[in-house]
Amino acid sequence: MFEFRILAQDPDTGARAGEFVTPHGTVPTPLFMPCATQGTVKTLTPVHLEEIGAQMILANAYHLGLRPGADRVAQMGGLHRFMSWPKPILTDSGGYQIFSMADLRTISEGGVLFKSHLDGREIFLTPERCIEMENQIGADVIMPLDECAPFPTEKAPARAAMERTIGWAARCKAAHRREDQALFGIVQGATYPDLRRECADRLAALDFPGHSIGGLSVGEGLDLMVEMTGRTVERLPPAKPRYLMGVGRPEDIVACVAQGVDLFDCVLPTRCGRNGLAFTTRGRVKVRNTAHRADERPLDPSCDCLACRRFSRAYLRHLFQAGEMLGLTLLSLHNLRYYMRLMAEMRRAILERRFREFRKDFTEVRTMSDE
């Protein structure tokens, strides 16, 4: 049910263009997945996502397990049917919540004891329970429970988190029951190259159908993030898809595609959109700026999204000044369309053997000042 085909690889870098076959369709890579954490991409409908060219989305098993409950999602026919999304879905396990909700959890070898951020009740999330929930939810690609070390961290706790991640990955694999779901491994190791290499080698030996790179974009900066990504990728099986978790600035994505990463996700484009920041092919636009109060131009003349086809910068600014929900929808829609176009342009450049030129042009645009 799953296959990964590499169609082209840039001769100067690790960038590659491929196809990832899943039970709910074949997606082109490199690929960006919009975040539908709780079964929805904030302010957008599935129709919006289809119109901008989204091919695969990400949801979160921890959050869906709390509300409405994994059993309820299963009762409603699985997540694809529940949220009316016919294309592939990936679910994260809740590993990131171990990092982001540190004041609400206690870690042991057995699993993680959480206090629900909704009502305070205690939830003990084991690797086995994590996989049981993801099997119920029914995404195409699922993640094991893992531990993401904070940045910075000493080597001893980084190794402990890595060892726990590997042990949990083996337990998740043993608990996994559905052949129509691909369980990826997750490489941890903080910012220690030897830990990253060791973790990648040991997970590769477990023969997962794909691999994720976790624990980055947590404050270490672009250069170190790219270095750790490269050190990890060089030890992962080249014939399997590589997914860099939670990395989402456009410049980060381009740099990591050059390292050989295939899949990305992040809340950044929609979060920025809801806060009035638009990504364009000419730089970033802050629509709240007074300079746009009588600006008749679209956000990006080269963009074909609804916001750019129908509305001026002045109108978009008005929506944000007036607190209208439409502003959040239009900028979220625009930003995701920018990301979809960025990924398609990189893929085309790789296929046409001109990725170096693409990257040079992209870098020049990123140095422009915000408007």
Active site residues: 92, 265
- Distance between CA atoms of residues 216 and 222, nearest Å: 10
- Distance between CA atoms of residues 114 and 125, nearest Å: 7
Let me know the angle formed at the C-alpha of 257 by 195 and 342, rounded to the nearest 5 degrees: 145
Q: How many other C-beta atoms lie within 10 A of the C-beta of residue 194?
A: 11
Q: How many other C-beta atoms lie within 10 A of the C-beta of residue 268?
A: 21
Q: How many other C-beta atoms lie within 10 A of the C-beta of residue 352?
A: 12
Which among 28, 30, 23 has a CA at the least distance from the CA of 2? Answer: 23
In the chain, the amino acid numbered 314 is: A
Q: What's the sign of the alpha-carbon dihedral 63, 243, 211, 150?
A: negative
- Distance between CA atoms of residues 227 and 370, nearest Å: 27
- Distance between CA atoms of residues 47 and 333, nearest Å: 11
Q: How many angstroms from the chain centroid is the CA of residue 180?
A: 21
- Tokens describing residue 88: 């592939």
- Distance between CA atoms of residues 138 and 229, nearest Å: 29
